Structure 1
Amino acid sequence: MDKFVEKVVIITGSGSGFGREFALKGAALGMKLMLADVDEDSLLETVELVKAFDVEVLGLKIDVSDAFQVEELARRTMEAYGAAHLLFNNAGVGTGGFLWESTAKDWAWTFGVNVMGVANGIRSFIPLMLKQNEPAHIVNTASIAGFLSATGMGVYNASKHAVVSLTETLYHDLKIVGDKVSCSLLCPGFVPTGIANAERTRPQPLRNESPMTASQRMANRQLTRAVRSGLINAKEVADITFDAVRDGRFYIFTHPPMMDSVKLRFDDIAGLRNPSAVHEDAISSPATREL
């Protein structure tokens, strides 16, 4: 997909972070926007920022873990614009701590948003894109955590590994049915976004009643520190991502030094070695535009 002007872009998790920057980038390119987020106040802020570009924009509060709400997003998109060209399955949340201390609610919330949110977007929009018979593209936001397994992030790691696998499979599935619709896998390292504050959007029924354990508090502190120390910002990630979509690139890695850790992991697997430790600096180093 190499043309963006007047095309329709749908972005989940558009209230902050990557989603907001995807929206601003799309607006700067003259796209029509359908924005979605579970945080209505943040969503409306993004809508107002986008309006400065004098483009068509609509916002819809949804929970991507709810298939019916994502289907409504697709229906509203087609009703308003009559097409869907670029979909960012971007909404994401995270929890930390030792795996055995993660609750069933932690698993349900994280997988509901990070995995089922992506699946619901795929189910709701790809059939529409295929019927259009014109170039379209899907970007699924995973993470470097989809390739590495840092300690204290087990539930989040597992959810992002799932997104990596389903997006790689989606790439091959789409190749079977034609060449009009394709996809990319975005795997950023730590970047200053709102991911460390995602807990405030957790639905009440999925909130934990017991206080956080020591490992969960430690993981939260580490995540907050790592996110704040990210040496690349969300706008740069948006620029890199749109360039990749234009170039038809599948893998989108934003932090080149982390590839050494990815290679080490695959070397461990190929050599039947026990897993090597993942170091924080491997996933928070700055990006270069060579990728």
Structure 2
Amino acid sequence: MMKLDTVAAFAAIVDAGSISGAARLMGRPKSVVSERLAELERELDTRLIQRTTRKLSLTEDGETFLPRARTILRETVEAAAELSERRGTLSGPLRIAAPVGFGMLHLGKAVSHFLQRHPHIDLSLDLDDDFVDAAADGYDAVLRVGTIADNRLVAKRLAHTRRLLVASPGYLARNGAPARVSDLADHRGVLYSNRESDWRFAAKGGWVVARPRAVLRVNNGLVMRDATTAGLGISLLPSFYVADALEKGDLVVLDVGCEPESAEIFVVYPRDRNPSAKVLALVDSLRSGFGDPPYWDIAHR
């Protein structure tokens, strides 16, 4: 019968890229990890990992077995966590991802408060501005800013946030302030590269769109904020990025007669996986910590 520790050794070897690396991850002697892999291969009657003097690589059977192995290990952990939850204790691993800028500015304190309330949770927080596939990348949940169009996912709203058209006083002194949405076409824009470059504004007849001349495209809101503060151009940013800069006077909000399209912050998780009590507790904790309206919006309404 297949043993759980042999499956765990196989997955650890894949993750670490070597048997010695897996031994360090598992806190086991290298010889033990190597024997666990050999035992699993004997049980399955196939070679899972091709060993050479230079590297390890998955065989075709190894590629096929790996996602099943990860499912086995994840469900084992979730089953143990569920028993703890039935006893009123949230425990075990919780892996989430979030955008870099939002995480740096607003998740440190919020996550610390959550872990103080639930000290038996082992939280892994990955900050990444590239697209993270919540349904395929092994996360329990992912924080997203913007619309959720993937029907594989369930989205839990955390907060509504304004998006503000901002520029530095120095940029405005040199280039003047736009008075209408159409004026933005004559200005330089600092644009978010992971979002369509069009800026949308709510007008009486529906949405109107601005297309500024791009001076910089970047996939990080903090870099956008800093470039805008330095006078490079105008940007349209969620208020959670610029609240402090507005308070200090480093940036000012521009009024073009229409309100920019706002944004939503969500926690999303795969639809085919029941959310654990840990994920739901995290959602409740973040909602409470951010507030409604969120604390970063209150001073600029």
**Considering the TM-score relative to the shorter chain, is it more than 0.5?**
no
- TM-score range, shorter-chain basis? under 0.3
Structure with the largest fraction of strand: 2
Q: Which has the larger radius of gyration?
A: 2
**TM-score if structure 2 supplies the norm length?**
0.24
Name whichever structure is richer in helix by fraction. 1
With normalisation by structure 1, the TM-score equals 0.25
